[in-house]
Amino acid sequence: MAAIAHELDPNRRVNHFSRQMHAYDEWRQALLSTLSDTRQWLDQHKLSSAELDLRIYENCESLKSDKLTIAFAAEFSRGKSELINAIFFADYQRRLLPSDVGRTTMCTTELFYDHVLGSTYIQLLPIETRRQDLSIEEYTHNRDYWHIIDLDIDSPDQMADALQEVVKVKTVSIDEAKSLGLPIEDDCINNGTIEIPVWRHARISFPHPLLKQGLAILDTPGLNALGTEPELTVSMLPKAEAVLFVLAADTGVTRSDLEMWREHIAGYRKNGCDGLIAALNKIDTLWDEMKSPAQIAKAIASQRKATAHALGIDESRVLPVSAQKALLAKVKQDQALLEASQITELEDYLANKILPSKQRIVWQKIVNDTGSILDDVAGAKHTQINYLTSQQQQMHALSHKNTELSNQVAQKIQTTKENYHSCTTYSETSKTKLNHQAKLVRDTINLEAIDYTVARTRKEMSSALTTIGLRQQIGVFFDSVRDTMQVGANQSDQMVEDFEAVYKRMKKDYGFPDIKLKPLNMVKHRTHLDKLYLQGTQWRDSTDLTMTEQSLVIKKFFISMVSHVRGLFYNAREDIDKWTQESLRPITMHVDEMRQNMERHIEIFSKISDSRTSMRDKLSCLEEKQSAAEKMVDELLKLKTRLTEADPSVGS
């Protein structure tokens, strides 16, 4: 397709996705400011505690380190790396990632910015680590395992040379490749040797504005890599907010494309349909100067429709693009070529669908955590205001020197004492019972119990003499952990009922504010475990299990599945601990507020004299305290409003 070069529209020089990422970063900074103000306000009014301060601090750190991960998956020679360069790094006027003809992505590559170290580097994990029983995630916590190359951002040539390290290969014997659990393809064998990647995994920290604003990119190799690194399918891809499955318009959906899609991509998305996109790349191969623009558009539309049908997805999620022409257009500032490449549709999809979804999840977490703290503090302040109002009414009555009323107030003080002591006794008894119930749940999903099951399964699998025996042990393992999770879920349901009963009694007898108990979502852990079970079952029944050496089967299974199951139980236990602390906090705060109000009540009425001046002074003191409490409630409401008004769906 011939195109006359025109200077790029200034509004498109920074694409829509880049602008939205910048807006997202500003939104995060505003939210961080609100959290910081909340933390400072609680400390200033002596309403904070070690637990509350830690909770808000953790929310701040989570918000700072949070990333929007976009994963790219494709078979070889689909133009995946070129598409990454075109969307995100065209402003460097050159290719950041190697993107030549043929196979360029040899190992899974993560691109991000390391805010903790604040440095630019490449970390490379040797392929030999495949012999160990550690997952890639576990390796990331120890830099000693990695080969590290510092990047000089002021030297494009040094960066280009360093990035070429990612695609390095070496020649090894067939036995060596087999010992690493790598696939052996007959057409790749040369005199009893085969080329394999030098590196297993690469992590690149780079100070690109988008990466510094929270974008992270996961660039995966082809079908064989996904098959030999199950952690990609089990953990890394599902954690991404979006997966772009890149296809080539000139070949359509090939058999290997379809196999990769069905086995490793389509079944493991967590964010619904919007998070899974097919990029139909290389549409420039359909450009033909002998055809009219309408005929070319029709050919592209036909290929788009056929691709959607083959993948079983809606046509709106198949986005045609020419990555190579898009990159060229951005470098040369050619508006016509940029429009012909159709990359703006893909960029807009990421900006309008994927980013807002991520933003909503982040906001919801902050509102649930910090918003609940503000609600609990406001509830305690409302309790104080009610007490102060009651005390003022009693003071007005006493100001008339009514002996009978004085006796009534004295009786009221005695009743307040009795009510407080009764509430204290009930709350302490209830908290002991509730903590015991929470301990039962924690003990059920105890990591030590999971580790015992893992060790037992490993031993049984190692002694299994047949493939049938291996498959049986895989089934036994998942049956065991699913039963354990179900028991824990049943216990947690009972714990929630017990908490609800305590809240109801506290409200009825002790003026507990009308606070709704937050839901305890154990369903998500059970659902996730069921998905892992399905994956384990599919893998157990696959031909891959029959064809692979037994020791590699055990290693592959444990690295990809068991470590993920363990992480799932760890997260479930963390959720139980967090929910228990959050649910006990309003009870503790209410009892403490009752104690303070009782002490103020006793102090005022035990020292009161017959003097009208003294009465007025005491009333004035109560009014000032009530006014201060009401002001605090207003300030808490303003902080809560700042959180709720940050809702990204408002005005979208």
- Could you report the per-residue pLDDT of 502-540, keeping only the tens digit for each? 999 988 888 888 878 888 888 888 888 887 787 767 666
- As a whole number of angstroms, the distance between CA 464 and CA 473 comes to 8
Q: How far apart are CA 385 and CA 627, in angstroms?
A: 9
Between CA 410 and CA 651 the distance in angstroms is 56
Q: Which tens digits make up the pLDDT trace of 535-588?
A: 767 666 655 555 555 556 566 666 677 777 888 898 899 889 989 988 898 898
Closest CA to 351 of 5, 20, 56: 20
Q: In one letter, which amino acid is 535?
A: Q
The single residue listed with the structure tokens 């104690």 is: 595
166: phi then psi, degrees, rounded to nearest 5: -60, -30
Q: How many CA atoms lie less than 13 Å away from 617 in the CB half-sphere?
A: 10
Q: What is the share, in percent, of the chain residues with pLDDT greater than 90? A: 23
How high does pLDDT run on average in the chain? 82
* DSSP conformation class of 66: -
**CA-to-CA dists, residue 430 to 436, 498, 617, angstroms:** 10, 9, 40
More confident residue, 85 or 618: 85
> Distance between CA 180 and CA 127 in Å, rounded?
8
- d(CA 454, CA 186) in angstroms, rounded, equals 36
Residue 184 above 60 pLDDT?
Answer: yes
pLDDT value of residue 100 = 62
Res 143: pLDDT: 87
Token readout for 384 is 């104080």
* pLDDT at site 302: 93
pLDDT of amino acid 343? 92
DSSP 71: E
Q: What is the residue whose two structure tokens read 């979208």? A: 652
195's enclosing H/E stretch is: strand 193-197
pLDDT band for 5, please (50, 70, 90 cuts). very low
| pLDDT tens column, 214-240 | 889 998 887 666 666 767 766 788 788
- Is the distance from CB of 204 to CB of 110 less than 8 angstroms? yes
- pLDDT-based confidence at residue 642 (cuts at 50, 70, 90): very high
- pLDDT value of position 34: 94
Number of Cβ atoms within 10 Å of the Cβ of 530: 13
pLDDT at residue 42, as a whole number: 92
Asked if pLDDT for residue 431 goes beyond 60, the answer is yes
Beta-carbon contacts of residue 477 (< 8 Å; ≥ 6 apart): 453, 454, 457, 536, 562
Q: Are 374 and 35 in contact (CB under 8 A)?
A: no
Closest alpha carbon to 605 in 395, 303, 305: 395
Mean pLDDT, to the nearest integer, of 333-349?
A: 90
Q: What is the pLDDT of residues 130-143, one digit of tens each?
A: 888 778 888 888 88
* Tokens standing for residue 3: 């195109």
CA-to-CA separations, 115 to 269, 443, 571, in angstroms, rounded: 28, 36, 24
Read off the pLDDT band of 14 (50, 70, 90). low
- Round to whole Å and give the CA distance between 472 and 483: 16
With CA atoms as reference, report the closest residue to 571 among 535, 626, 607, 521: 521
| 248 pLDDT tier (thresholds 50, 70, 90) | very high
Residue type, 143: R
pLDDT value of position 613: 55
Spatial contact of 539 and 545, defined as CB atoms under 8 Å apart: yes
3-state secondary structure of 650: coil
Q: ∠ CA(573), CA(579), CA(450), 5° rounding?
A: 10
**Distance (Å, whole) CA 336 – CA 324:** 14
Query: How many other β-carbons are positioned within 10 Å of the β-carbon of residue 262?
Result: 12
Residues 545, 553 contacting (CB under 8 angstroms): yes
Q: How far apart are CA 358 and CA 594, in angstroms?
A: 41
**In this structure, what token pair is assigned to residue 102?**
């043929």
Distance, in Å, from the CA atom of 237 to the CA atom of 244, rounded to the nearest integer, reads 10
SS3 content of the chain, % helix, strand, coil (to 5): 70, 10, 20
270-320 per-position pLDDT tens digit = 445 568 889 999 999 989 888 888 998 999 999 999 999 999 888 999 999
Higher-confidence residue of 10 and 182: namely 182
Q: What is the mean pLDDT of residues 98-103?
A: 59
Reading the block at residue 424, the tokens are 């204290």
The DSSP bridge partners found for residue 204 are 111, 122
Tokens of residue 223, six digits: 């079908």
Cα 31 from Cα 25, distance rounded (Å): 10
Residue 559: per-residue pLDDT: 66
Q: In what order do the strands lie in the sheet with 242-248?
A: 147-150, 121-126, 199-205, 108-112, 215-219, 68-73, 242-248, 276-281, 318-320
Q: β-pairing, 147-150 with 121-126?
A: antiparallel
Q: Is the pLDDT of residue 637 over 90?
A: yes
Q: Is the pLDDT of residue 406 over 80?
A: no
Q: What is the DSSP string of 536-595?
A: HHHHHTSHHHHHS-HHHHHHHHIIIIIHHHHHHHHHHHHHHHHHHHHHHHHHHHHHHHHH
- For residue 541, the model assigns a pLDDT of 62
CA distances 208 to 89, 93, 112, 117, 215, Å, are 8, 13, 9, 15, 9
Residue 477 has pLDDT above 80, yes or no: yes
Q: Are 24 and 214 a contacting pair, CB within 8 Å?
A: yes
Looking at residue 471, its pLDDT comes to: 72
- In whole angstroms, how far apart are CA 2 and each of 266, 290, 393, 636? 37, 11, 87, 62
pLDDT for 13 equals: 45
Amino acid in position 259 = E
